[in-house]
Structure 1
Amino acid sequence: MDIPEKYKQLWIHWDARVLILLSVSVQIVLFFLGHLRKTFALSWMRMILWGSYLIADLLANFVLAHLCNDMNDSSFSNAIVAFWAPFLILHLGGPDTIIAYSMEDNELWARHLLSLGYGLIIAFYIVFRSLPNTSLLAPTLLIFLVAIVKYLERSYSLYKASTKGFHSSISSSYRKLNPLSQAFYLYFACRPFFINLIPHFELYTKTRNLIKEMTTKEVWRAMSKVLSYVYDEIYTKTIINHSIIGYVLRVLCSFCIFLAFWLFLIVPKDDFGKFDVIITYILLVISICLDVTANIMLMFSDWMIFSLLSVKKLRNLSVLLANCIVRIKTVWHKRSCWSIKMPQLSLLNNCLNVYAPNRALHKRMMNSIVEKLNFAQETKLYPGWRTTINEIYTLQALQPTHANEKIMKIIASNVKKGLYAIWQVIDWAIPIFVKLLDGISLDQQVFIWHITTELCFHWNPKPLHPSCPHRRELEKESISTTRKCREMKACKYLSNYMMYTVLLRPEMMSTIVQESSVLFYHAFDDMVQFIMQNAKIEEVCKKIMTTPTVWNDNNKSFFAIARALADLMLKIKEDERWQVLTMTWAELIIHVAKNSRANMHMKQLSSGDELLTFIWLLNKYVETDDMFHIILDIPGN
């Protein structure tokens, strides 16, 4: 079916105009979502941002090529078409809030800089074709100047965020601590951690003492700000914007944009098409709005506070301005600058979903639609190649939660104090724990303790112990119900989060064993055997705990070990039981964080934070002194 000729002609006339409006719309999306992605790590936001980032440069280059075709040597509209060309170079420079979607993009800074030459050649060719009509030449050159500055800012920011640039920016000097810039002081000390370097000893010592004097809430607020600064340095134009040259360029660009708008306003427009004039006004007004918004964000950022406190001349005035910004931010932006995300994955919930096909068709369709709209993450468990089993299990993550104050206190206190006090209370159980978990890797321990926690959490306390039907009552509650529920939920959140990390984010762990995935499959398959159609999770747990365990010394099942651990945990008093489980998870997550790689945490910042990144950074502040002791003991250092 052929498209009617009139629609073809309509598109030929409007294609470049529609595409340039689409390009400016993409810039708006990048500007705002680029700013929000470090605080709101929602899946749909990341998908839109990713698509906009991929299409932005391609779209701008494509429109430049179309403008070349639209030039007509005998048309007066050439001048206004040529005026659009520098806006596309401006779009290639990108907004201040995002220069890269991932760390790998930063390594392509040289290619990005080279692309400027090709873009300028096409843009200047379009302007040359518009001559001798010079009615809009002055505003065109002004926007050209702004576009070149913005493009060079992005290329320089990409270089500074690359591995080479970041390494060269690490300085051995350090600045004086100021109460208003306390978080920035911690950030300056932690920068070497992200490229596996040793920080300045005196600076590190001061920051470590500072961390130890903080409350739990202050520690996590400081860590969130530090990670926010690292994100700004790697994925935005913050480094160039908050420099003396950056401030001068900011004033120059703002002046040029306003002057170009005024010059276009006073130019006679009788020879230009009405819709072309409207499109030009849209481009100018949106550029002004984005520039003003960027200036406001720059003035009220934490980086501006640090810049003011670094001024030596007019010291009193700069401190006064810094205090004013702090007060305004406190009133205007009460929400913390970084949210602590904890993705969740529950094995028992996934076991129950194995029988999902037995539900009604309309319910299955609705659940499937909801899962797709929420961009639910999935992973698969395979039985291995040499087996007759054909079943493949698909595990789906739950909606992520956020770390509450209870979880913060548990982890912060354990990083600073240690984890062995509670084990002294139940020292009789330690040999059994050691025997059950001997020779098991870290990721496998997470899998086992997750099943144990699930069984303990969903076990409905009855007067009798599951494996001892004639035993007296287990125990009477010695802690308040509210406190117990908080501890249970905190423990379950940590358990689900670590299970998610092992199965869906294995790159965050450096201790993954190759055969773990097959062993996980068989353990999960053992769990599925206990699932009944339309069964409740409490009924499944009861059946699992009351069924005798069959041991195979040659090949112990993780599921059998987890059941034995759960049986042992249920013999401990309830308040001590949840203390043991919570401390165990705190120990596991700290151990995983200590052994994770720095570059993985830098990559993680691009998609929102995770709890593991917070703990890794906090642990770096607290325990790197062991490294210093080793170095200082070597003669000659």
Structure 2
Amino acid sequence: MADLLPKAWKSLWDVWDLRSFIFLSLFLQTLLVLVAPLRKKTSHGWIIVPLWSAYLLADWAANFAVGLIASSNSDPPTKDNSSTDYDLYAFWAPFLLVHLGGPDTITAFALEDNELWLRHLFGLLFQCIAVIYVFIQALPVKENLWIPTLLVFLSGIIKYAERTRSLYLASASSFRDSMLTEPDPGPNYAKLMDEYHSKKIARLPTRIEMLAEPDRVIKAANRFNKDDLTDLQVVQYAYRYFETFKGLVVGLIFSFRERNQSRDFFLARSAEDAFRVVEVELNFLYEVLFTKLPVVYDGLGYCCRCISSVAVIMSFVLFYYIDKENFQGFDVGVTYTLLLGAITLDVIAFAMLIFSDWTTVALRKSPDPDNSSTKSRSYRLRSWLLEIKTRKLNLSCFAVSLPIISRRWAETMSTYNLIYYCLNRRPRKRELIYDYMGLTTFLDEIWYVDCAGFDDKLRDFIFAELKGKSQMADDLETAREICSAKGEWVLRIKDYGRKELLPFVVDVDYDQSLLLWHIATDLCYNDKEDKPLNKDYRDIAKLISDYMIYLLVMQPNMMAAVAGIGLIRFRDTCAEASKFFKNSNVALPSNWFSSCFGRAMDPGVLQLACESILAVNTEVEPITIKGDRSKSVLFDAAILAHTLRKLPQKDTENGKVDKWFIISKVWVELLSFAATHIRSDSHAQQLSKGGDLITIVWLLMAHFGLGDQFQINEGHARAKLIVGK
């Protein structure tokens, strides 16, 4: 059979295949080191997609290159490849083991990767065997390369072992086991009761009293700074509460004392400081689950990292002094590139470790409530590290501000609007093609999802709502009742509650309530006659409304625990809305661009569509006429919108309130319900995609003591047998 490729091409491939994959592997490692830290700060596809591709290709490229080296060593020497080339090939093989160990900045792309730690352990064993095989084949060599090769091999084993151990520690079972305390059998019940019984038989006055934990222990644990927090204190407090509450990810329960300590601290905080602490705390959680940092930051990790770096540097020095006359000049350049690349990546990793929050807490974990050490050299050092990391970089006479570098999460909210989607739906034929190719969700994310900034007004409003509820939740029963509310808690408040709105949250499922309030919010938002008392409440309600529908429609796996048949209701509602708009006088997009890409639309079309829905006579409930086969809630939402429009302005102790004040509070309650009822691993998964507002709300509610994870009422009392009066 004739060769498929010309001999010249085949010869060129034989020469460049290994070298190409060597460079590709090094490039992918560099890309992962530099880009991976950004994925916790942005959700943009232009970062996530290349990073995902590099993560998948990195192991494949290194494994393939090792296979090429093993294959080339088994071939007889030719004029293009002498026996001395095999010596360099054997020297290159351990570098690929270093690459397989991966950078510190990423060990897992998703939580599921952590569960594959055993596969990586076997991979470590087999790759070590492959490198040893290559080395043995090249043993009868004239050049003294075996010592540098062994040094790089040692570095590769350490790097690969670090990655495997990081995956193991971040796996669900290991992560849960690491937080379990020593078994607590409690007081010696049998011995105490024997003594109690014997004293009773002897007719001695005997009783058992429970001695509470000394006040000095509780007061010492509850000491904290009540002033505004510095950047250093934010990191220290975040680490303290990370150590306490990281068990939320695996569903552990907490004591009432831990609840009170956290609740008291966050009740004394401003919205800005509270969110800063939670954001840093989530960063610690991200690094535990998706990076090598927890493995590096211990005594053994420091030693291994030093040995690994020193081994590569010594290998470089030894190779520099080796006679290289028998090697091809280009291959010597490739070897120097691998050595310098490994050293450079180690330097970058070392710099990242220095400026990491883990270094800050390693110098001093506990914050000083009294600010008595603000003049110490250690304090200035830690503050300087954080200043460089989180603030503008002063370069000579100007400053450079890089938000994506300094921020802790994406600080954006993805939004999705049902009515806008119905007005801009793609043609049915085109939709069928996309469904067949599996591109519908991907294209919807591009064409129908917008991105809104997370501003201070929204942050302050959410914090005020959660803080107010926490102040009312002195006992666990009230806290659980607040967390289980889907809007009814707000609507029952005496000062401004509206009981006529209760059926739209109490008598419906949660996903149905989301769609009802989303459409009703849109209808009120696009009302020409609407004159809000406070435009901020109107904007907040609109933003949270579109954000929650984004979660319902575009994140169904995340919302599965609370959404029920949300997607079915959404599709039925969209079908009814599209049919209604088609039969009404609403002008749908007719040009090719708008029908295909869903972006060009007359601003007045959305308002006209909302007015058309409100103009429909809804005197009779839709279910009476249509039955319940269709799960559409379009005109049920219109009934809710009519009810909201009729709400009068009301005077309260804090001033006048209107429908937007109530709607915005209902939306925060709907957001809070989802935050506390979504699976905890879904929250953890979002950390690798730029973070999400609902995850921040989830952790903030836990710190406010709102949730059902606090189930230990008394854990530190002691029983004492008292004889006598």
With over 3 angstroms needed to count, the CA separation of the structure-2 counterparts of 1:543 and 1:403, relative to structure 1, is same
Q: Deviations over 1:122-163 (max 9, x none)?
A: 111111222222422222111111111111111111111011
Residue type of the partner of 2:457?
Answer: K
Structure 1 SS opposite 2:238: helix
Structure 1: gaps spanning 5 or more residues: 365-371, 379-394, 462-473
With over 3 angstroms needed to count, the CA separation of the structure-2 counterparts of 1:201 and 1:519, relative to structure 1, is closer
Shift of 1:526: 2.3
Aligned ranges for residues 292-311 of structure 1 at < 5 Å? Answer: 292-310=347-365
Of 243-252 and 144-153, deviating more is 243-252
Aligned ranges for residues 544-563 of structure 1 at < 5 Å? Answer: 544-549=613-618, 550-554=620-624, 555=627, 557-563=632-638
Shift of 1:16: 0.8
Q: 2:646 aligns with which of 559, 564, 571?
A: 571
Distance (Å, rounded) in 2 between the aligned partners of 1:413 and 1:240: 38
With over 3 angstroms needed to count, the CA separation of the structure-2 counterparts of 1:506 and 1:36, relative to structure 1, is same
The answer for the alignment partner of 2:198 in structure 1 is none
The answer for the alignment partner of 2:309 in structure 1 is 254
Q: Is the 8 A contact 1:436 1:561 kept in 2?
A: no
Distance (Å, rounded) in 2 between the aligned partners of 1:421 and 1:226: 33
Alignment of 1:145 onto 2:154: yes
Shift of 1:572: 3.0
Residue type of the partner of 1:324?
Answer: W
Q: 2:133 aligns with which of 120, 125, 128?
A: 125
The answer for the alignment partner of 1:162 in structure 2 is 171
Distance (Å, rounded) in 1 between the aligned partners of 2:623 and 2:420: 29
Q: Deviations over 1:227-282 (max 9, x none)?
A: 11000000000111111222222222222222222222222221111211121121
Q: 2:383 aligns with which of 323, 335, 340?
A: 323
With over 3 angstroms needed to count, the CA separation of the structure-2 counterparts of 1:602 and 1:478, relative to structure 1, is closer
The answer for the alignment partner of 2:701 in structure 1 is 619
* TM-score after normalising by structure 2: 0.75
Q: 2:570 aligns with which of 506, 516, 520?
A: 520
The answer for the alignment partner of 1:346 in structure 2 is 417
Aligned ranges for residues 453-472 of structure 1 at < 5 Å? Answer: 453-461=521-529
Alignment of 1:237 onto 2:292: yes
Residue type of the partner of 1:621?
Answer: H
Q: Deviations over 1:362-398 (max 9, x none)?
A: xx9xxxxxxx9995445xxxxxxxxxxxxxxxx9641
Q: Deviations over 1:159-202 (max 9, x none)?
A: 11011221222165999979361111121121111111123554
The answer for the alignment partner of 2:514 in structure 1 is 446
Alignment of 1:488 onto 2:538: yes
Q: Is the 8 A contact 1:86 1:147 kept in 2?
A: yes
The answer for the alignment partner of 1:387 in structure 2 is none
Residue type of the partner of 1:614?
Answer: I
Q: Is the 8 A contact 1:225 1:337 kept in 2?
A: yes
Q: Is the 8 A contact 1:376 1:398 kept in 2?
A: no
Question: What CA RMSD, in Å, does the superposition of the two structures yield over aligned residues?
Answer: 3.3
Distance (Å, rounded) in 2 between the aligned partners of 1:83 and 1:195: 44
* TM-score after normalising by structure 1: 0.85
Of 109-118 and 220-229, deviating more is 109-118
Q: Is the 8 A contact 2:254 2:711 kept in 1?
A: no
Q: Is the 8 A contact 2:511 2:565 kept in 1?
A: no
Distance (Å, rounded) in 2 between the aligned partners of 1:573 and 1:221: 38
Query: What percent of counterpart residues are identical?
Result: 30
Aligned ranges for residues 176-215 of structure 1 at < 5 Å? Answer: 179=233, 181-199=236-254, 201-215=256-270
Q: Is the 8 A contact 1:82 1:130 kept in 2?
A: yes
Shift of 1:115: 1.4
Shift of 1:296: 0.5
Work out the number of aligned pairs and report it: 590
Distance (Å, rounded) in 2 between the aligned partners of 1:625 and 1:51: 38
Shift of 1:347: 0.6
With over 3 angstroms needed to count, the CA separation of the structure-2 counterparts of 1:617 and 1:356, relative to structure 1, is same
Of 121-130 and 416-425, deviating more is 416-425
The answer for the alignment partner of 1:391 in structure 2 is none
Aligned ranges for residues 500-539 of structure 1 at < 5 Å? Answer: 500-509=550-559, 511-512=561-562, 514-528=564-578, 529-530=580-581, 531-534=586-589, 536-539=605-608
With over 3 angstroms needed to count, the CA separation of the structure-2 counterparts of 1:636 and 1:433, relative to structure 1, is farther
Q: 1:406 aligns with which of 441, 447, 457?
A: 457
Q: Is the 8 A contact 1:79 1:135 kept in 2?
A: no
Q: Is the 8 A contact 2:255 2:710 kept in 1?
A: no
With over 3 angstroms needed to count, the CA separation of the structure-2 counterparts of 1:510 and 1:300, relative to structure 1, is same
Shift of 1:636: 9.6
Shift of 1:422: 9.0
Q: Is the 8 A contact 2:29 2:58 kept in 1?
A: yes
Of 260-269 and 320-329, deviating more is 320-329
Distance (Å, rounded) in 1 between the aligned partners of 2:708 and 2:464: 19
Distance (Å, rounded) in 1 between the aligned partners of 2:526 and 2:357: 45
Q: 1:587 aligns with which of 669, 672, 696?
A: 669
Structure 2 SS opposite 1:76: helix
Alignment of 1:55 onto 2:57: yes
Q: Deviations over 1:527-580 (max 9, x none)?
A: 221243346111111111122225344437511111011112222358612111
Distance (Å, rounded) in 2 between the aligned partners of 1:103 and 1:20: 29
Structure 2 SS opposite 1:623: coil
Q: Is the 8 A contact 2:415 2:543 kept in 1?
A: yes
Structure 2 SS opposite 1:401: strand
Q: Deviations over 1:5-37 (max 9, x none)?
A: 111111012111111111111111222222111
Structure 1 SS opposite 2:414: strand
Aligned ranges for residues 93-112 of structure 1 at < 5 Å? Answer: 93-112=101-120
Distance (Å, rounded) in 1 between the aligned partners of 2:240 and 2:546: 34
Which one has the largest radius of gyration? Answer: 2
